[in-house]
Chains A and B, each alone.
Chain A
Amino acid sequence: MRNPYRSQKIAFFFLFLATLLIVVPVGLIVIVIIQKGLPAISWQFLSDIPRQGMRSGGIFPAIIGTLYLVSGAIIFALPIGLLAAIYLSEYSKDNLLTRIIKLAIVNLAGVPSVVYGLFGLALFVVFLKFGVSILSGSLTLGIMILPVIITTSREALESVPQSFREVSLSLGASKWQTIRHIVLPNAIPGILTGTILGLGRAAGETAPILFTVAAFYLPQLPKSIFDQAMALPYHLYVISTQVPNVDEKIRYGTALVLLTLVLFMNLVAIVIRYKFRKKKKW
């Protein structure tokens, strides 16, 4: 006779092992980066420009550059993504065109980021003559995070109960009034969560900014949206592979700043979602 409890125990053990394997790399990455990077973190490191061919000094221009790019991306992507999500969830009928649009969004999410970089180079930098600039980089990142914003916003809008829309319409509200006063306010936490997750992704990507905005070494702050800028992920790439004899401390310190930035955004998204779940009662 086979013992069913023993095979169950073995199965549970492997399931647990598989789950544990997910935690291990995350934990290791965080630990290694904190361990090696933390000694580099100082006010000077965060606020100074890179010096001696990026072998000392700080990473301030890269931090600012990344913040500019992320802000630029949200300015382009949020309005377009939100309006598209409203159209898809509230207005569009299920026909061939909508299905093509939805398919396009799914595919957009699957495009490799380096392809976005090339696309940004061809369209914004060369064809529209924005040059290698913050504008080109923000637009490229914006397009990259559009699918995330559209998909999460649509889910947020569609999770608002149909009965709310019915009541609002039955009280004589127009469709737009219903969306504006009932659907959107109840979907905002979900939309915010998706947007922040998209931004976290934009902040960490190297490939899309490689050809469109990133400067190898620019020890001053950008003065307009048509300037080049340094950015954290690209800076990390440069000091890790392109510049010899960079102190390990500086490399891991840069990685730590980038990781903290992205994790912080994700944390904000999680907090918003958590608070909203607690409040929601329908």
Chain B
Amino acid sequence: MKEKIITKNLNLWYGAFHALKNVNSNFSANRITAIIGPSGCGKSTLLRVFNRMNDLIEGVRMEGEVLTDGINILEARADLVVLRKKIGMVFQRPNPFPLSIYENIVFGAKIHADNIKKDRLDEIVETSLKSVLLWDELKDKLKKPALRLSLEQKQRLCIARLIAVTPDVLLMDEPCSTLDPQATARVEELMRELKSKYTIIIVTHNMQQAARVSDDTGFMLLGELIEFGETDKIFTAPKDKRTEDYITGRYG
């Protein structure tokens, strides 16, 4: 298994609040890793370290190392544009831009290169929409406003918009929490299809989802990564008492 993202003694503070404590983990390429834990345990914060989205919050301080392809992304000279192009994010609430479906998908491509030919953009739209299984539904509605789509379609569109900038890693921050169970099942199916090409890290507080969709699971509590390993083992034979308590529903 190839390691895609490695954290070494990662610590993070929001002002005086110690939000991540000595997190050591290995996220493998072409696998889905779920991060679970109760609200406020730092799982979203950890996810947002990987594309440096925490930088938007004032008073954030980080220590330790986060390596991806041998580069420490916490270094001051890390190029955030390159990093975020490589490590993309799907947010909790589907958030397409108030533009057409087409314009949403080509947004990233246009940002990263000048003067792309129309043919090339059309191609990007088609392959991106095909990879999220929306092409057949939407190919005749590309000029329609993206805000008119259903929630599930919007979230798929957001994934397509992300795929269009050709990332290696997809960070998903509770991507299904606004969707109904059927739509959730379909998006999970999509994640399984995508993992051959991407490294996927998903934050969820839905344990069934973590069990269904992930290959590896990390359990976090109060800013610490308590246990990290293959999903089957975490859910059937957790080593730590706290993991067991959480999984069996004793708190959370």
By beta carbon, the residue of chain B nearest A171 is B108
Known contacts A163-B91, A166-B56; decide if A172 and B98 are in contact (CB<8 Å).
no
Q: Would you call A171 and B95 a contact (CB within 8 A)? A: no
**B165's contact among A169, A172, A281, by CB below 8 Å, is which?**
A172
Taking CB atoms and an 8 Å cut-off, the chain A residues in 151-171 that contact chain B are 161, 163-164, 166-171
Q: At the interface with chain B, which of A23-31, A122-130, A174-182?
A: A174-182
Is there a chain A Cβ closer than 8 Å to B205's Cβ? no
Taking CB atoms and an 8 Å cut-off, the chain B residues in 67-102 that contact chain A are 80-85, 88-89, 91, 93, 95, 97-98
- Please measure, in the bound complex, the distance between the C-alpha atom of A174 and the C-alpha atom of B84, giving whole angstroms: 10
Residues of A within 8 A of B58 (CB): 93
By beta carbon, the residue of chain B nearest A165 is B56
Q: Would you call A163 and B107 a contact (CB within 8 A)? A: no
* Total number of A residues with any Cβ neighbor in B under 8 Å: 20
Residues of A within 8 A of B83 (CB): 172
Interface SS majority for chain A: helix
- Please measure, in the bound complex, the distance between the C-alpha atom of A182 and the C-alpha atom of B35, giving whole angstroms: 31
- Please measure, in the bound complex, the distance between the C-alpha atom of A169 and the C-alpha atom of B108, giving whole angstroms: 10
Is there a chain A Cβ closer than 8 Å to B121's Cβ? no
- Please measure, in the bound complex, the distance between the C-alpha atom of A186 and the C-alpha atom of B95, giving whole angstroms: 15
Q: Would you call A170 and B147 a contact (CB within 8 A)? A: no
Q: Would you call B93 and A186 a contact (CB within 8 A)? A: no
Name which of B58, B88, B98 has the most chain A CB atoms within 10 A of its CB: B98
Name which of A93, A170, A173 has the most chain B CB atoms within 10 A of its CB: A170
- The digit string for A164-208, where 1 denotes a CB below 8 A from any CB of B, is 101111111110010001100010000000000000000000000
Residues of B within 8 A of A282 (CB): 98, 147
Residues of A within 8 A of B95 (CB): 161, 163-164, 166-167
Is there a chain A Cβ closer than 8 Å to B33's Cβ? no
- The digit string for A261-282, where 1 denotes a CB below 8 A from any CB of B, is 0000000000000000000111
Is there a chain A Cβ closer than 8 Å to B53's Cβ? yes
Q: Would you call B53 and A170 a contact (CB within 8 A)? A: yes
Residues of A within 8 A of B51 (CB): 170
Is there a chain A Cβ closer than 8 Å to B162's Cβ? yes
A-B pairs under 8 A by CB, number: 61
- Please measure, in the bound complex, the distance between the C-alpha atom of A111 and the C-alpha atom of B56, giving whole angstroms: 37
Residues of A within 8 A of B85 (CB): 171-172
Residues of A within 8 A of B161 (CB): 171
**B111's contact among A164, A173, A281, by CB below 8 Å, is which?**
A173
Q: Would you call A171 and B84 a contact (CB within 8 A)? A: yes
Q: Would you call A167 and B111 a contact (CB within 8 A)? A: no
**A169's contact among B53, B93, B97, B107, by CB below 8 Å, is which?**
B53
Distance in Å from the Cβ of A220 to the closest Cβ of chain B? 50
Known contacts A171-B107, A172-B81; decide if A281 and B89 are in contact (CB<8 Å).
no
Residues of B within 8 A of A167 (CB): 91, 95, 97, 158
Distance in Å from the Cβ of A153 to the closest Cβ of chain B? 19
- Please measure, in the bound complex, the distance between the C-alpha atom of A6 and the C-alpha atom of B89, giving whole angstroms: 61
Is there a chain A Cβ closer than 8 Å to B144's Cβ? no
**Which residues from chain B sit less than 8 Å from chain A, CB to CB?**
51, 53, 56, 58, 80-85, 88-89, 91, 93, 95, 97-98, 107-108, 111-112, 147, 158, 161-162, 165
Question: What 9 A-B pairs have minimum CB-CB distances, sorted nearest first?
Answer: A172-B85, A172-B84, A170-B89, A171-B108, A163-B95, A173-B111, A172-B81, A281-B147, A167-B95
Q: A172-B84, A280-B98 are in contact. List 14 more A-B contacts (CB 8 A).
A: A161-B95, A169-B53, A169-B56, A170-B91, A171-B84, A171-B85, A171-B108, A172-B81, A172-B82, A172-B85, A172-B88, A172-B112, A281-B98, A281-B147
- Interface pairs (13), CB distance under 8 Å: A161-B95, A163-B95, A166-B95, A167-B95, A169-B84, A170-B53, A170-B89, A171-B165, A172-B84, A172-B111, A173-B111, A174-B81, A281-B147
